[in-house]
Amino acid sequence: MQKLRITGGRRLVGEVRTSGAKNAALPILAASILTAEDLVLHNVPDLADVRTMLKLLEGMGVSVKRSGNDVTLNAGALTETVAPYELVKTMRASILTLCPLVARFGSASVSLPGGCAIGARPVDQHIKGLRKLGAEVEIEHGYVNAKSGRLKGARIVTDMVTVTGTENLMMAAVLAEGTTVLENAAREPEVVDLAVCLNAMGAKISGAGTPTMVIEGVERLHGAEHAVIADRIEAGSFMCAAVATQGDVLVTHCVPSDMEAVIVKLRETGATVETGADWVRVKMDKRPAAVSLRTAPHPAFPTDMQAQFMAVNALAEGTAHITETIFENRFMHVPELARMGAKIEIEGHTAIVHGVPSLSGADVMATDLRASASLVIAALAANGTSTVDRIYHLDRGYEAMEAKLRALGGDIVRINE
Ligand SMILES: CC(=O)N[C@H]1[C@@H](OP(=O)(O)OP(=O)(O)OC[C@H]2O[C@@H](n3ccc(=O)[nH]c3=O)[C@H](O)[C@@H]2O)O[C@H](CO)[C@@H](O)[C@@H]1O
Ligand SMILES: C=C(OP(=O)(O)O)C(=O)O
């Protein structure tokens, strides 16, 4: 089992390049199903989840050529419209193959992803929306089985803002007959990136990035070339690490305007945050001030940055209230941070973090993707050595994280134990 061994107490200083966004790359890879022509993608991060999505698509008959961060997909010979449980259970984003399969082939059988460590994560809104577009959808033996002729445009209002739901339904609507209006659509930059890619493939989507998207269906999509946007969560994780270690880090190749809520909170810690067109520099020369926050859909503070900010608050001066409104069980990092000396109480959806002057290195266990990042940040700032176990969670979503942190001066190595 691989672990990270981290000896804390070193300021992170230097420059780090942001990778492509996992949460944009995965839906865009699934969009390759929508055309028989080549989809040429750049800036695709090398992550466990990306490898899983490519394996899933290859299993369906999609041809995949990969060279570094460039991937060319061709679904011209796709013959299999089943997403099996064995792959889906390792990556929820597999559900994103459902709507493109139904839209282009009129049938799909995709394993239900089920819950995961952070919450129940149902997909009822995807199913409801797909039915509204005219598909027959049944749940049988743990699979979502869908059938339809050509889908028909409709007005769909989701009960809540759902990122994957918006993405899936966009991919159904692009090939439907007539116009679809998606109300209460997610506004995340990754949703916008998918829309940009789909429009490059010939789709007619307007309003991406607003709560109302209008999608005029077309008969077919064609090939396209697209570069995946920067990973705002990876960039934000490095920014938190800079604050926690009282460092000075220039994060390049990112989109500061996609990270406004995070940048506001970083400034509240007392850090100096400068931004340019595609970079953010975070400088910190003192113990951070405690910063309260509440997660909510974009453009509010992202749930995917909650755990990393918890690590900063664990070391802060004062008490912070962190309220998680998206997932019912996204505080699994709390008991692990406590092993490092953090003082955190949980009351319902809120974690009350009483900052301590220093954390101490300990053996801790990652429970999910962003919890892993939180533990790494805490360990980089702690006195002494920590080991972070179960880093396969981290490898799902961070490209070369330990190499990037080492280049900033962090004492971090991957060990096999
Ligand atoms: C709005 C939001 O912040 N979404 C986050 C969510 O996206 P992800 O797409 O995984 O989750 P959704 O946005 O779909 O879910 C938002 C909320 O709606 C609920 N829901 C969703 C779909 C559905 O059919 N039924 C239903 O009840 C979920 O349980 C959750 O409480 O997790 C990702 C990974 O951490 C984050 O990158 C996204 O920022
Ligand atoms: C939890 C995450 O991913 P997923 O939705 O793939 O589980 C995440 O990106 O933080």
Atom of ligand 1 nearest to the CA of 296: 3
Distance, in Å, from the CA atom of 12 to the CA atom of 267, rounded to the nearest integer, reads 18
Is residue 416 over pLDDT 90? yes
> Model confidence at 401, in pLDDT bands (50, 70, 90)?
very high
Nearest Cα residue to atom 7 of ligand 2: 92
Does the annotation flag 3 for ligand binding? Answer: no
Distance, in Å, from the CA atom of 186 to the CA atom of 208, rounded to the nearest integer, reads 9
Q: What is the DSSP string of 314-375?
A: HTSBSEEEEE--S-TT--THHHHHHHTT-EEEEETTEEEEE--S--B--EEE--SHHHHHHH
- Chain segment 381-390, per-residue pLDDT in tens: 999 999 999 9
Atom of ligand 1 nearest to the CA of 126: 24
Distance, in Å, from the CA atom of 415 to the CA atom of 338, rounded to the nearest integer, reads 23
Q: What would the mean pLDDT of 239-246 be, rounded to a whole number?
A: 98
- Judging by DSSP bridges, how do beta strands 350-354 and 319-323 pair with one another? antiparallel
Domains and CATH numbers, the chain: 2-19+230-416 (3.65.10.10), 22-227 (3.65.10.10)
Nearest Cα residue to atom 3 of ligand 1: 297
Q: Residue 117: what pLDDT?
A: 87
> Model confidence at 322, in pLDDT bands (50, 70, 90)?
very high
- Regarding pTM above 0.90, the answer is yes
- Using DSSP, state whether 270 is helix, strand or coil: coil
Q: How far is the CA of 150 from the centre of ligand 2 (A)?
A: 31
**How many other C-beta atoms are found inside a 10 Å radius of the C-beta of residue 71?**
23
User: Both ends of the chain: CA-CA distance in Å?
Assistant: 6
Q: How far is the CA of 369 from the centre of ligand 2 (A)?
A: 7
Considering every ligand atom shown, identify the ligand nearest to the alpha carbon of residue 21 and give its number.
Answer: 2
Residues of the chain above pLDDT 70, percent: 100
Peptide bond into 299 cis (omega under 30): yes
Of all residues in the chain, what percent are helix, strand and coil, respectively (each to 5)?
A: 35, 30, 35
- CA distances from residue 22 to 43, 84, 166 in whole angstroms, order as listed: 10, 21, 17
> Model confidence at 115, in pLDDT bands (50, 70, 90)?
confident
Nearest Cα residue to atom 34 of ligand 1: 304
Residue type at 388 in one-letter notation: V
The response to whether residue 124 sits with its C-beta less than 6 Å from ligand 1 reads yes
- Chain segment 177-202, per-residue pLDDT in tens: 999 999 999 999 999 999 999 999 99
Distance, in Å, from the CA atom of 212 to the CA atom of 195, rounded to the nearest integer, reads 13
Residue type at 110 in one-letter notation: V
Q: How far is the CA of 5 from the centre of ligand 2 (A)?
A: 24
Does the annotation flag 395 for ligand binding? Answer: no
State which of 156, 164, 170, 349 you would mutate to test the pocket of ligand 1, scoring each by most atoms of that ligand within 8 A of its C-beta. 164
Is residue 120 over pLDDT 90? no
Whether the complex's predicted ipTM is more than 0.90 is answered with yes
Is residue 3 over pLDDT 90? yes
Is residue 114 over pLDDT 80? no
Match 């959806």 to its residue by tokens.
349
Does the annotation flag 411 for ligand binding? Answer: no
- CA distances from residue 16 to 106, 280, 391 in whole angstroms, order as listed: 44, 10, 21
Does the annotation flag 125 for ligand binding? Answer: yes
Mean pLDDT for the chain? 97
Distance, in Å, from the CA atom of 256 to the CA atom of 69, rounded to the nearest integer, reads 22
The response to whether residue 165 sits with its C-beta less than 6 Å from ligand 1 reads yes
For residue 277, give the nearest of 251, 299, 256, 250 by alpha carbon.
256
Report the catalytic residues: 116
- Chain segment 247-287, per-residue pLDDT in tens: 999 999 999 999 999 999 999 999 999 999 999 999 999 99
